[in-house]
Amino acid sequence: MKDWQFYALTALGLVLLPFVIHPIGGYPALATQILLLGIGAIGFNLLLGYAGLLSYGQAMFYGVGAYVALLTVSRFFPQVHSIWLGILLAVVFVGVMALLIGMLTVRLYGIYFALLTLAFAQMFFFIVFQWRSLTRGDDGLQGITAPPLTFGPWSLDLTQRLPDLNLGIFGNLHDVTYWYPFSAVVVLGVLAFVRTLTRSQYGEILAAIRENEERSTFVGFDSKSYRIAAFTIAGVLTGLSGALKGLFDTSIAVDSLDVETSGSFVIYAVVGGVKTLFGPLLGTAIIQYLQNVISGNQHFGEAWRLIEGVIFVAVIAFWPKGLLGSIPQPSEFAYQPRFRPSDSLPEAKPMTEGIILETKGLSKFFGAFGANSDIDFKVRAGELRAVIGPNGAGKTTFFNVLSGLRSASAGTIYFKGRDITRMPGPQRVASGIAKAFQTASIYPDESVFENVRLAALARVQGMFAPEFLRRSGRLQQVDDIAHDALEQLDLSNVATTRAGSLSHGDKKRLDIAVALATQPELLLLDEPVAGMSIDEIHKTDRLIRALAKRMTVLIIEHDMDLVMGISDSITVLHQGKVLAEGTPAEIRANRLVQEAYLGGHVADAVPSSAPPAAPHTEANP
Amino acid sequence: MSQLPGTLLDGLIRGLAYVGIALGLTIVFGMLRLVNFAHGAFYMIGAYVGLVVTEHLGLPLGLIAAPIAVAIFAVILDFALLRRFYDRNPTAQILITFGIAIVVQESLRLIFTGTTRSYAIPFWLKSSFNLGFTQYPTYRMIFALGIVVLIFAVWFFIERTNYGLIVRAGIRDRTMVQLLGGNVRQASTVIFALGGAIAGLVGAGASPIYNVDPNTGFYFLVPSFVVIVIGGLGSFWGAVAGGLLVGELQSLTTLISAPASDIVIYVAMAIVLMVRPSGLFGESELIRG
C-alpha cells in the first residue's frame, strides 16, 4: 500500500466508524472508547507480534498512565488549562518506568517473561491501592474534568458536541463530541508511527531477532537493546492509551491495573491479529462492540465474559494468526537487490601480524564435568588451523567459549592482544570474530540475500542503531558487502530464494556467508562440510581455501581428507584437553592421536600415511 | 508473638496447598513441556464438583469424585484441543490455556453464581485439636497429612514405577523414547490427566479451609506458578520447597501487614527471576522458553 493510500483509507475509516456502528447498536462514545483502548492494543502488538514477547503486565502502564494524567490535571497542576501537560507527564513517566522494567525483564523468555511482567504489574497495583493519600485507594479517582485541548491561544472543550446534522439511520453528528475527532487524529498518528517503525531498519532487525536470536547475536546485534526499545515504546503507547482513556472517562479505578486489564490487551491483539497493523484495532472494536451489545442484554448479559473466552479460544485454535492475519498478505519477497559492482566495498582490513588468538588455561565446566580443561592455544594471523578430536572431545564447546556463546569457567582469551574473556558475543563479532554454526543457523523465512544483508548491516551500523524511522535497504555499502559475501560462497545465483528452502549444503554455505558478511578477521567454522555430498565437499574445500587467503580460519571437521588437505596446522583435543598439535604430517604420525581415535588399540595394520578413520557423517552433538 | 505458632502452621497449610497444585503443574511441564495456565481451572472444577457431591453424599465421596471428574475433563481437553499445542512455542500455549481458564471460570460463575460457597463438613472436623502449644483446627491437620501422603505417592509413581520411567525418560528426550517403543503420546495423556486429578483433589480438599468462588482458581494458580518458578520449573523437590517457602512467606508477612502478603510473593519471584532465572533447584539450560 502506498503512503497516500494508507492515510486516505485509514482517515476515511476513522471518519465513518462512529456512524456505521450506529445502526447495529453502537454509539459515538463507544467509538471513542474503541480508539483509545486500541492504542494500547497496538502498543501490545508491537511487543507480542513484532518482538515476540508476551507481556502479562500491560495494565501497569495503562493504569499508571491514567493516574498520572488525572492527578496532573486535578492535583499537581490544576492551574494549567491545557490537556497536553497531563498527557505529556503521563507518557514521560510511563516511558521511564517501561525503560527501567524493560531492562530488568527482557532477558527472560516465554513463561518467565510473562510471569515477571505480571509480577511487576501486581506490585504497581499494590502501590496504587495502598497509596491512599495520593490515589484514594479502592475508591479510585472520580469526577475529574479534563482541561481543554489547546493550540497556542486557541482552545477547545473536548466534551462539546459537533453541530446538529441528521444522518438518518447513521445517527446524528450532534451525538459526537470533539473527543472523537481528537482520538481519531491521535490514532492516525499512532498507526502511522507504528507502520513506519515496523518498516524501519530497527523494525527489520527486531523481526530478525525474533526469527533467530542466536544468529542475530552472532552477526553482532545486541538483541537485548532492541527488545528494551520495543518494550519501552509499547509501554509508552499503552500509557498514552490509559492517559487519554482516563481523561475521557474523567475517572480511573484501581482495577484498571489488575490482571484482567492486561489480559484484555492480549485478547484484543490476538483476536484481531498480531503482526498486522490494523489487527489490534479491529480486535478492540469487535470485543468492545460485542461486550457493549451482549452485556447489556438481559438474557445473556451475564454470559459476556464466557462468550469472550470462547471467541478467544476459537480464534487461537482455528485462526492462530488472528482475524486480519488470516487474510493472505502479499508477500514482500519480490525485493530485488540492486546490484551494481561498485568501488564502495571497504578495503580489506590489513591482517593483524603475529598471534591473533591466544587462550591461557581456558576451562569450561558443566557442573563437575570439564568439557574443556586448561587449554593453552595460539593461532598466528593468516593461519588455517583445524581443531580435531573424537566425538565429545570438547571441540564445539571450545568454539562456543571463543565466540562468547558460553562463558569460560576459568582462563583467559586474548584476541589481537586484548583480553576478551568477559566480552559479550555481539561485541566479539564487532571486534572481528565470526562463527558459522554446526547446524546452519540462518533466517529461514528471509531471502538468501536478506540473510547476508542483515549481517552486513550489523557490521556497518553496529550493535544497536536506534533507526526507528528510516527505512533500511538504502545503504549501498551494506548491499555491496552482502553481495561480496554471496559471491565468495558461490551463492549469488540463489540470492532471491527463500533461505529455508535451500539444500542442506547451500544452507551450510549460506551460514558461512552470513558469518563472512560481518567482515571478520577470525572465522570459526564448526563442521562446515558435515552431511554434504562429495561434490559439495570439493566445492566447499575450494571456497574455504580462498577465504583463508583473506583471514584467519579455525575449523572443526571430521572429514580427515579435507582437514589434512587444507590445514596449515592441526590441534587435537581429547577429553577436553589438548592432546597434540602440529602440521598435518606430524599429527598423522602421532601415536597418541591414533590411540585416541581408535580407542587405545593402535593397530600396526594402520599405515602411518593413512588418515585416521573417521566417517564423514559423524555427528557431534 | 503468641500468634507466631499459629501463623507458622497457617503458612505450612497454605504452602502445602500450593505444593499440591504446583505438583501437577510441574509434572505436566516436565513431561509435556506444556505451560498450563488452565491448571487453576482444574483446581476450581475439583472444588465445585467436591462441593456438590459433599452436599449430597458427604465429604469422602466428594474427595473421590473431584479428581475423577477433573481427570475426565483433562482427557477430553487434551484430545480436543491441547494436543495440537504440545509442540508450539510457550507463548501459544500460554494463550490457549489462558483462554480455556477464562471459559471454565466463567462457566462455573454462570452455574454457581459469583457468591462464595463453603463446604458442609462433619462437625467433628470443624473442632480444634490441642497441639500442646496451640489449638489448631482438626481438618487442617488432616489436610496437611493428606498432602504429605500425596507428595510421596506422586514421587513414588515417578521414581519407582515403570510408567514413571517412561515419564522421566520422556522429560529428557521425547523422540528417543518414542524410537525405543515407549508410548509417549499415551503417557502424555495420562500425565495430563494425573496433573489435573491432583489439582482437582487438592481443590476439593482445600475448599473446606479456603471456601470457593469463581476467582479462587486464579488466586491459587498465580502463587503456584510463583512456587514452581522459585523452585525451578520442572523440578519435583523444587516445587515442594518452593511451595512451603511461599506459604510461610505469605503467612509471616500477614504479621507485619496483611495487604502486603498479597504482594510479597511477587517480589520474591521477581528477585529469584532476576538473580537466578532457573530457580533455586532448576537446571540453567531450561530458561530459554
Is the same domain home to A362 and A453? no
So what's the pLDDT on residue B27? 83
> Once rounded to an integer, what is the mean pLDDT over residues A419-443?
90
Provide the b/e sequence for B214-253 (b: ≥16 CB within 10 Å). Answer: bebbbebbbbbbbbbbbbbbbbbebbbbbbbbbbbbbbbb
Domain positions in chain B are 4-213
Tell me, yes or no, if B160 comes closer than 8 A to chain A by beta carbon.
no
A286 lies in some domain: no
The residue of chain A nearest to residue B288, with distances taken between CA atoms, is: A109
Average pLDDT of chain A is 86
The residue of chain B nearest to residue A318, with distances taken between CA atoms, is: B81
Tell me, yes or no, if B110 comes closer than 8 A to chain A by beta carbon.
yes
Is the same domain home to A445 and A484? yes
Residue type, A207: A
Rounded to whole angstroms, what are the CA distances from A356 to A346, A349, A350, A410, B289? Answer: 21, 14, 12, 20, 37
So what's the pLDDT on residue A283? 94
Which pLDDT band, with edges at 50, 70 and 90, does A606 fall under? very low
Span of A90-104, A278-292, B185-199 with lowest mean pLDDT: B185-199
pLDDT of B276 above 90 = no
CA A123 to chain centre: 27
Q: Which of B91, B102, B229 sits opposite A115 (nearest CB)?
A: B229
Is the same domain home to A490 and A600? no
So what's the pLDDT on residue A329? 62
Is there a contact between A303 and B89 if contact means CB atoms under 8 Å apart?
no
Tell me, yes or no, if A262 comes closer than 8 A to chain B by beta carbon.
no
pLDDT above 70 covers what percent of chain B? Answer: 95
A483 lies in some domain: yes
Tell me, yes or no, if A113 comes closer than 8 A to chain B by beta carbon.
yes
- Residues of A with Cβ-Cβ distance to B107 under 8 angstroms: 306
Of the residues A115, A264, A407, the best mutation for testing chain B's interface (the one with the most B CB atoms within 10 Å of its CB) is A115
Burial of A225 (0-12, 13-18, 19+ CB in 10 A): middle
Give the integer Cα–Cα distance in Å for B9 and B130: 13
Q: Which of B102, B109, B269 sits opposite A119 (nearest CB)?
A: B269
A305 lies in some domain: no
Tell me, yes or no, if A270 comes closer than 8 A to chain B by beta carbon.
yes
Q: Which of A323-327, B134-138, B148-152, B166-170 has the highest mean pLDDT?
A: B148-152
CA A256 to chain centre: 29
The residue of chain A nearest to residue B225, with distances taken between CA atoms, is: A115
Grid cell for residue B154: 506422586
Q: Which of residues 435-464 of A touch B (CB under 8 A)?
A: none
Strands (E), A300-449: 355-366, 369-380, 384-388, 410-415, 418-419, 433-436
Is the same domain home to A605 and A477? no
Q: Which of residues 54-73 of A touch B (CB under 8 A)?
A: 54
Residue type, A278: F
**A519, A545, A568: which is the final residue of a domain?**
A519
- Write out pLDDT tens, residues A10-37: 999 998 888 888 888 888 889 999 999 9
- Write out pLDDT tens, residues B234-247: 788 888 999 999 99
- How many structural domains are present in chain A? 3
A610 lies in some domain: yes
So what's the pLDDT on residue A62? 97
Give the integer Cα–Cα distance in Å for A308 and A290: 9
Question: What CATH number has the domain bearing residue A507?
Answer: 3.40.50.300
Grid cell for residue A69: 494524567
pLDDT above 90 covers what percent of chain A? Answer: 40
A264 lies in some domain: no
More confident residue, A452 or A27: A452
Neighbouring C-beta atoms of residue A114, cutoff 10 Å: 28
pLDDT of A293 above 90 = no
Is there a contact between B262 and A126 if contact means CB atoms under 8 Å apart?
yes
Is the same domain home to A66 and A197? yes
pLDDT of B1 above 60 = no
> Once rounded to an integer, what is the mean pLDDT over residues B267-288?
70
Is the same domain home to A132 and A64? yes
Is the same domain home to A35 and A154? yes
- Residues of B with Cβ-Cβ distance to A52 under 8 angstroms: 91
Tell me, yes or no, if A320 comes closer than 8 A to chain B by beta carbon.
yes
More confident residue, A473 or A412: A412
Is the same domain home to A414 and A474? no
- Residues of B with Cβ-Cβ distance to A48 under 8 angstroms: 91
Query: Closest Cα of chain A to B98: distance in Å?
Result: 9
Tell me, yes or no, if A126 comes closer than 8 A to chain B by beta carbon.
yes
Residues with Cβ < 8 Å from A501, sequence gap 6 or more? none
Provide Rg for chain B, Cα atoms: 19
- Write out pLDDT tens, residues A78-115: 888 889 999 999 999 999 999 999 999 998 888 889 88
Give the integer Cα–Cα distance in Å for B38 and A333: 39
pLDDT of B115 above 90 = no
The helix/strand count (H/E) of chain A reads as 23, 12
A337 lies in some domain: no
- Write out pLDDT tens, residues A213-243: 999 999 999 999 999 999 999 999 999 999 9
Average pLDDT of chain B is 85
Tell me, yes or no, if A119 comes closer than 8 A to chain B by beta carbon.
yes
Query: Closest Cα of chain A to B120: distance in Å?
Result: 28
Q: Which of residues 208-267 of B touch A (CB under 8 A)?
A: 218, 222, 225-226, 229, 233, 259-260, 262-263, 266-267
Domain range for A158: 3-257
A17 lies in some domain: yes
Residues with Cβ < 8 Å from A377, sequence gap 6 or more? A357, A358, A359, A362, A571, A578
Tell me, yes or no, if A8 comes closer than 8 A to chain B by beta carbon.
no
> Once rounded to an integer, what is the mean pLDDT over residues B47-54?
93
Is the same domain home to A80 and A174? yes
Residue tagged 552472532 (cell numbers): A218
pLDDT of A332 above 80 = no
Of the residues B110, B215, B253, B273, the best mutation for testing chain A's interface (the one with the most A CB atoms within 10 Å of its CB) is B273
Tell me, yes or no, if B177 comes closer than 8 A to chain A by beta carbon.
no
Strands (E), A239-368: 355-366
Is the same domain home to A365 and A494? no
Which pLDDT band, with edges at 50, 70 and 90, does A438 fall under? confident
- Residues of A with Cβ-Cβ distance to B263 under 8 angstroms: 122-123, 126
- Residues of A with Cβ-Cβ distance to B81 under 8 angstroms: 313, 317
More confident residue, A8 or A328: A8
Is there a contact between A309 and B90 if contact means CB atoms under 8 Å apart?
no
Grid cell for residue A45: 502488538
Query: Closest Cα of chain A to B263: distance in Å?
Result: 6
Is there a contact between B225 and A115 if contact means CB atoms under 8 Å apart?
yes
Query: Between B39-57 and B59-80, two packed helices, what is the crossing angle to 10 degrees?
Result: 140
Is there a contact between B102 and A308 if contact means CB atoms under 8 Å apart?
yes
pLDDT of A612 above 60 = no
Is the same domain home to A554 and A488? no
Is the same domain home to A200 and A253? yes
Tell me, yes or no, if A137 comes closer than 8 A to chain B by beta carbon.
no
Of the residues B175, B263, B286, the best mutation for testing chain A's interface (the one with the most A CB atoms within 10 Å of its CB) is B263
So what's the pLDDT on residue A95? 97
